[in-house]
Structure 1
Amino acid sequence: MSRLRLTDIRKSYNGGEVVQVLKGISLEFRENEFVSILGPSGCGKTTLLNIVGGLDRYDSGDLLLGDLSTKNFKDSDWDAFRNCSIGFVFQNYNLIAHQTVLQNVEIAMTLSGVSSSQAKQRAKDALKSVGLESQMKKRPNQLSGGQMQRVAIARAIVNNPDIILADEPTGALDSHTSVQVMEILKDIAKTKLVIMVTHNAELADKYSSRVIHLLDGEVQSDSNPIFKDSAIKNPNDTKDANQTVTKKTKLKKTSMSLVTATSLSFKNLLTKRGRTIITSIAGSIGIVGVALVLALSTGLTSYMDKLQSDTLSGYPITISKGVSTLQMGGGNNANSLLGSSSEEGKFTNDNIIYSVDNTQNTLQHTNVLTQEYTDYVSKIQSVLPNAVNAVSFSRGVGINLLAKGEDSVVKYATTAATATEALRGSKTYWQEMPNNEDTILSMYDLIGDGSRLPSSKNEVAIVVDEYNNIDASFFEKLGISATNSDFKLTDFIGKTMLKVIPNDGFYTKDANGIFSAASASEYGDLYKNADGVELTITGILRIKEASSQATGYLSSGLVYTTALTNYVLENTQKSQISIAQASSDKDVILNAAFANAAVKEQKLISLGIDTKPTSISIYPKDFSGKDAIKQYLDDYNADKTQDNQVVYSDLAETIGSTVGTMINTVSYVLIGFAAISLLVSTIMIGIITYVSVLERTKEIGILRAVGARKKDISRLFNAETLIIGFSAGTLGICISYLLIIPINILISNLVDINNIAQLKPLHAVILILGSMTLTLIAGLFPSRMAAKKDPVVALRTE
């Protein structure tokens, strides 16, 4: 235990007029004695006590605890000094109302790093020493004045301080209880220094071992002084006093843990349950708004992703032979091969009209589907088996297809259509089926008795939509009048009503070597007598109920096999017209020169002379597969010049990105509106925290008196805002999950979409953390204000 010394302590206050309260107090105290300080009101007794206890600062002089000077103490040093060396006993007890008796005593040890179990046991022992072992679980307002003062004494001694400071400890007690308190303090003084400020001279003379009288800030008398230290004998000899300063004695720094701060704040909030609940509900409103927007946005995005995955992932990536026109950017900026546009120069404020040649703003790129490229794409299914469902090569060869209708035979137009062209409205009703039966059957049902997929060159199938509908123009191409007519499935399944006529049967050559196609009047005879392949309708395909993905695969109408294409190519290459056209620079049908090379090339393709594909359709399994396919195609272009690169088109990506942008835009707007209510509730929580600071001012003083640092006080109120933020966020999330149930039911009844509102657990956690962050920010100013409060002023607050 260290001896306390005061050397020429001076203190004044400036309240418009400077008032000197202490005028050079020099005192030394024994390590264990009971000292009473007497004097009239305003003589400086309480100020002296507050300076000794580190609650107030002296203007000059020095206060030493043994060999430790306090001249250069920082705030944290004073906090540690109060926690380790000082125990306070106040006239009005200064107990924390929302803490139990036991917790009030434990509070000092929570700042000094004592373990929870040890702190509890020491608090119990301290209460037992003052005769309150049976009152530990009660709250201060359940005790008498004498009992509360004994709790204050237990709190003062529990941390085993060197010095006990008692400010009018009997001032609010009756005479009988006062005697009990004085007996306790006298007993404590046997092992510690007890300094008591009092007006009661009778009690001071009876129980104290030393009485000091103050008057006008000076020591008038000392009944048992010490004159051993030169600094005390000669207060003006500051050199001698300074020589006593050493660094041998060190104070253990105090710290309030976040757990302790949270516990104190939580218990305080429980004492104001109604306000806490209302505040949490108000704070949750913004969270509910944002959560519901996120839930709807997430659910809608998930629904659209699934819809796009089911519907759009089936749309093939298409590589078409020939010229692609790509739009370039404005101004002088050249565009990339894929045509990304420049934003520079848009909506200019320049006072000028620019003259431009729009033909210079387009890029004409010609895809050349070489044998090298065709072979490269042919390997994609083996390279990416998990990404590719099927690869379809479209040949531009013309097929002479005749249809036997109701009363006559008609020519069925078979102009080749790619999947992309079909999506854009082409009505050929004639499409080569991807060569992957498992994939087709995974997305389409075969309907009708005996219905099966075509498997050979002489077999075809009909594709209908989910309503078994097919456009009337399809039947007209077959020579069937479909006006106001319905058909049975068995009217087509197993029927042969189409025939492919070879070129040598369809075209005839005159004496001049000019070829002419069969006329409409000859179709019936050709169908009946000419060699060819009769096509049997083997089945009818309808999209599966759970697979809208199939819409990208087969369009309504007739689908045929790759075997038929191969047969037609082989046949046409051997035909007279193809042989004649291959060796002629003129059109052997028109007997005229070709308009240009492109027209000639198209003629060679239609006659099967040029067998390179006119387009390639790659069918992905899903969206991720589509990305892998596109990367594979990009790899081919990596080392090619621009002219030799091959451009592909992906309609699904364009549609998907547009839909995604719309959803995100709407979500951001709605979240913005919801955030306004969240901001308002956050400001309200800041105001509530400010009110809490005002209400807990005395508690702030008590905590500072037992050694709490400024940052501990700040942490206390930050913990309170975090609790409110957590409560508001959790309540908001719970309300949101409850609201999602009727919202999903309502939307399901209105638009037949199930579980559209989906709040992800990750989003819920983020919102709770966001709520805590916002309330923490809102409480920063009130918490700083609390930390800056003067502990002496705070203790005087009622």
Structure 2
Amino acid sequence: MLQLINVCKSYTTADFTQTALDHVSVAFRDNEFVAVLGPSGSGKTTMLNIIGGLDHYDDGNLLIDGVSTSEYKDRDWDAYRNNRIGFVFQAYNLIPHQTILENVELALTLSGVSRAERRQRAVEALGRVGLAEHVSKKPSQLSGGQMQRVAIARALINDPEILLADEPTGALDSKTSVQIMDLLTEIADDRLVIMVTHNPELAQRYATRIVTLADGVIRDDTRPFDPAAENSPRRTAKQARRTSMSFLTALSLSFKNLLTKKGRTLMTAFAGSIGIIGIAAILSLANGVNSYIANVEEETLSEYPLQIQDQGFDMTSMMGLGSGAEGSSAEKAQDDAPDDDSGKPVHESKMIASTFDSIGSNDLASLKGYFDSGESGVESYVSSIEYGYNVTPQIFSSDTSGTVHQVNPDKSFASIGLGSSTASNGIMSSMMSTNIFYKLPDNMGMVEGQYDVMAGHWPENYDEIVLVLTPGGSVSDFMLYSMGLRDHAELESMVRAFANEEAVNAPSDSLSFSYDDLMSVTFKLVNAADFYQRDNEYGVWKDKSSDDAYMRNLVDNGETLKIAGVVKPKEGAKIASLQTGLYYPSSLVNHLIDQAGNTQIVQDQKANPATNVITGKSFADEESNQKNGNGFDMSSLFTIDGQKLQSA
């Protein structure tokens, strides 16, 4: 049973409001053929749409089998339309690219019925409306009456309790209209049929009840129904069918729909592809540029990392020295004096003071503790944090047949004031260094991608080093002297001639070597603590580094360092982190630290922290003598090579 109670519906456009239904109350029996008559604009179609759930009322109520729909949600209306309502439209609303069988099947497709069952039921429904022989035709191959029959068959396929027909004969001739009306009359034998029409003759002839509307109000009802007065049996509602569709079915319908308009589909796909490709190209370009910039930044910082030393020096402080650009406060004060320069004092310019004021000391131990605590958050901004220790591997040439030659730290140019050994300060030492040995970074991932391994491999053990060539694949002659591939006496001769302001005879030949030749070179590693020997008579440790026989024995028995690989920067590499030279792993430094910790001289010094075990004096006395000027030793101004003197 269907009942409308004081239903109101209006449509507002701008400041104009049109009332379609004005407090309409009407009830329908479960089994009757109702014709709704009225002029255009009287509210017939609006009432039909509200009954079918296609539109919602503003006020009042719609009862379905005594149940109010005022609290219905969208899913409730969907279930109502799918299970209890069948629609027959004046315009047919058939899908043109599908056959009439597929059009009728569509309602069952949305209900999740299997393919075989929905085809069988669709054929039966078309047979019922007299179209069993036309199941394979498209709507465009049918007449108007036949298309309306297809619409009726589609409305009946779900066996609805209520059939709503909006002007089903409006576009048909009189003969076809009679056929459609006969079919609706037959259908009305076992269900409620509500038909909107403008033709009063058809209504009078076929309908069992006529409801007349005018200006949104029911003006006449030939057979009104009062549910409270008539105790007609209530129909039991069918179990609701869920609305569903399989993914493959949806995909098939979508594909068929695309094929119906191939030109439009291709043009849309082409235009969409251009847009997608354009956006993808822009995003790719942006990501590529960002990646390139990030890569350049990372590679640049890998070659020029941010370094924090125990003493920092502001190089910019030297730029203004002697320029007079800033001047002292006294000089500025004099600028305001009269132009008469007679008797004007000459003021001091703080050049040295400004230079040393820019040197600051850093507490590296506290900084390391702060980084290791994890509280700094610096890890997200850096690729690697590495710590350097004041440990310089003492490396010698393996060939001790002549003189003992130390290659790290390099002392080749010590006689002319160059080399790491000429300066005790870390800053000055790094600026004046002539070393060719360097430590590899701990994070080798940043480095290995920048180089091609020409022979061998990167160091894997503490006693392995790697030779880094120039981008052109060459090696400097200075490295050849250090490696023993050129006669080191030749270098010493040139340095001596330069120091004596004599003509320097530099070799003009150019040598070539294979990778095997380079990798055949070995070096000797000596622990710095072994340079000292205990003097039991005086209870001190004596430096034996000037004793040639002692040093030759020390080098001969030292650990062997071998070149494990030869690498050079990749072709076209923008930045190379490592300069040309020989690189040892950080594990070598750790090895030397562990080794030194077990030596006797270190154990003695740790046991007597206040006394210098080399001089036998307390550190306090030595510091006091230096402050009082008593610590100056004339021997520090020059050195004497006893063996050279004896041979002369």
* TM-score for both structures, normalised by structure 2: 0.52
Mapped contact 1:461–1:538 kept (Cα < 8 A)? no
Listed as ranges, the matches of 1:476-555 within 5 Å are 477-479=491-493, 481-482=505-506, 484-489=508-513, 532=552, 543-544=566-567
- Among candidates 576, 581, 593, match of residue 556 of structure 1: 581
Distance in 2 between residues matched to 1:75 and 1:497, nearest whole Å: 86
CA contact (8 A) 1:63 1:70 kept: yes
State the partner residue of 1:45.
Answer: 44
Structure number with higher helix proportion: 1
- Contact residue 4 and residue 31 of structure 1 kept, 8 A: yes
2:468 is aligned with 1:469: no
State the shift of 1:89 in Å.
Answer: 0.7
Report the residue type matching 1:184 in the other structure.
L
Instruction: Tell me how far 1:208 sits from its aligned partner.
Output: 3.6
* TM-superposed deviation, 1:300: 4.7
Find the counterpart in structure 1 of residue 162 from structure 2. 163
Would the alpha carbon gap of residues 101 and 594 (structure 1) be closer, same or farther in structure 2, given more than 3 Å must change? farther
Alignment map for 1:631-646 (pairs within 5 Å): none
Partner residue in 2 for 1:582: 615
Distance 2:74 2:361 in 1: 77
Query: What is the aligned partner in structure 2 of residue 95 from structure 1?
Result: 94
Counterpart position of 2:151: 152
**Aligned match for 1:281, one of 265, 273, 286:** 273
- Residue matched to 1:428: 434
Match of residue 292, structure 1, among 284, 299, 311? 284
Distance 2:152 2:632 in 1: 109
Q: Name which of 1, 4, 9 aligns with 2:2.
A: 4
Q: What's the CA shift for 1:32?
A: 2.6
| 8 Å contact from structure 1 (residues 26, 232) kept in 2 | no
**Aligned residue identity for 1:277:** A
8 Å CA contact 2:311–2:362 kept in 1: the answer is yes
8 Å contact from structure 1 (residues 464, 542) kept in 2: no
Answer yes or no: is 1:105 the counterpart of 2:104: yes
SS at match of 1:195: strand
Number of the residue aligned with 1:755: none
**Identity across the alignment (%):** 34
**1:170 positional shift:** 1.5
1:114-173 C-alpha deviation (Å, 9 max, x unpaired):
567655654454344334456556654454323322222122112222111111111112
> Counterpart in 1 of 2:65?
66
Q: Which residue of 2 aligns with 1:751?
A: none
Change (3 A) 1:279 1:425: farther
Contact 1:43 1:216 in 2 (8 A): yes
Letter of the 1:287 partner, please give it. Answer: I
Offset, 1:67: 2.1
Whichever residue aligns with residue 474 of structure 2, its letter is N
Q: 1:582 to 1:169 in 2, by over 3 A?
A: same
State the match for 2:190 in structure 1: 191
- Hey, what's the Cα distance between the residues in 1 that align with 2:36 and 2:432? 107
Q: Is the Cα–Cα contact under 8 Å of residues 469 and 568 in structure 2 kept in the other structure?
A: no
1:364 aligns with 2:370: no
Change (3 A) 1:198 1:516: closer
Report how far residue 277 of structure 1 moved. 1.7
CA-to-partner distance for each residue in 1:634-687, whole Å, 9 max, x for gaps?
A: xxxxxxxxxxxxxxxxxxxxxxxxxxxxxxxxxxxxxxxxxxxxxxxxxxxxxx
Compared with structure 1, are the counterparts of its residues 468 and 63 closer, same or farther at alpha carbon in structure 2 (3 Å cutoff)?
Answer: closer
Q: Name the amino acid aligned to 1:543.
A: V
Alignment of 1:208-219 (within 5 A): 208-214=207-213
Q: Are 1:28 and 1:232, in contact at CA under 8 Å, matched by a contact in 2?
A: no
Q: Which runs of 5+ in 2 are unaligned?
A: 315-353, 366-385, 406-410, 441-447, 482-489, 495-504, 533-542, 603-611, 620-624, 640-648
Q: What runs of 5+ residues in structure 1 fail to find an aligned partner?
A: 234-243, 328-356, 369-387, 405-409, 435-439, 448-452, 505-514, 519-525, 574-578, 587-591, 607-798
Aligned partners of 2:134 and 2:429: how far apart in 1?
85
- The alpha-carbon distance between structure 1 residues 298 and 61, as it changes in their structure 2 partners (threshold 3 A), is closer
Structure 1 residue identity aligned to 2:566: I
CA distance in 2, matches of 1:531, 1:11: 112
From the superposition, tell whether residues 402 and 279 of structure 1 become closer, same or farther in structure 2 (CA, over 3 Å).
same
After alignment, is 392-401 or 36-45 more displaced? 392-401
Contact 1:95 1:152 in 2 (8 A): yes
CA separation of 1:202/1:304 partners in 2, compared to 1, >3 Å: closer, same or farther? same
Conserved 8 A contact 2:86-2:164: yes
| Per-residue Cα deviation, 1:60-96 (whole angstroms, up to 9, x for no partner) | 6654333224455556544443333221111111234
The amino acid of 1:54's aligned partner reads G
Provide the C-alpha distance between the structure 2 equivalents of 1:516 and 1:227, rounded to a whole number of angstroms. Answer: 127
Query: Partners in 1 of 2:456 and 2:477 — Cα distance?
Result: 21
Query: Is 1:493–1:539's contact at 8 Å kept on the other side of the alignment?
Result: yes
- Structure 1 pair 533–411 and aligned structure 2 pair: CA distance change class (3 A): farther
In structure 1, what is the Cα distance between the partners aligned to 2:266 and 2:395? 83
Question: Deviation at 1:47?
Answer: 3.6
SS of aligned partner of 1:105? helix
Q: What's 1:180 paired with? A: 179
Specify whether residues 100 and 426 from structure 1 end up closer, same or farther in structure 2 by C-alpha distance, changes over 3 A only. farther
User: Structure 2 matches for 1:561-572, cutoff 5 A?
Assistant: none
1:31 equivalenced with 2:30 (yes/no) = yes
Distance of 2:113 and 2:52 partners within structure 1: 22
2:225 and 2:531 mapped to 1: Cα distance? Answer: 135
Judging changes above 3 Å, is the alpha-carbon distance between structure 1 residues 593 and 31 closer, same or farther for their aligned structure 2 residues? closer
C-alpha deviation, 1:4, in angstroms: 2.9
Q: Secondary structure at the match of 2:163?
A: strand
- Please, what is the CA RMSD of the aligned residues? 6.9
> SS of the residue aligned with 2:493?
coil
Q: Is the 8 A contact 2:395 2:523 kept in 1?
A: no
Aligned equivalents of 1:584 and 1:483: distance in 2? 50
**Residue 273 of structure 1: how far off its partner (Å):** 0.9
CA distance in 2, matches of 1:103, 1:422: 91
Rg larger in structure: 2
Deviation at 1:100, TM superposition (A): 5.4
C-alpha separation in 2, matches of 1:42 and 1:454 = 98
The CA distance in 2 between the partners of 1:53 and 1:84, in whole Å, is: 11
Which amino acid in 1 is paired with 2:166? D
Displacement of 1:487 after TM fit?
2.5
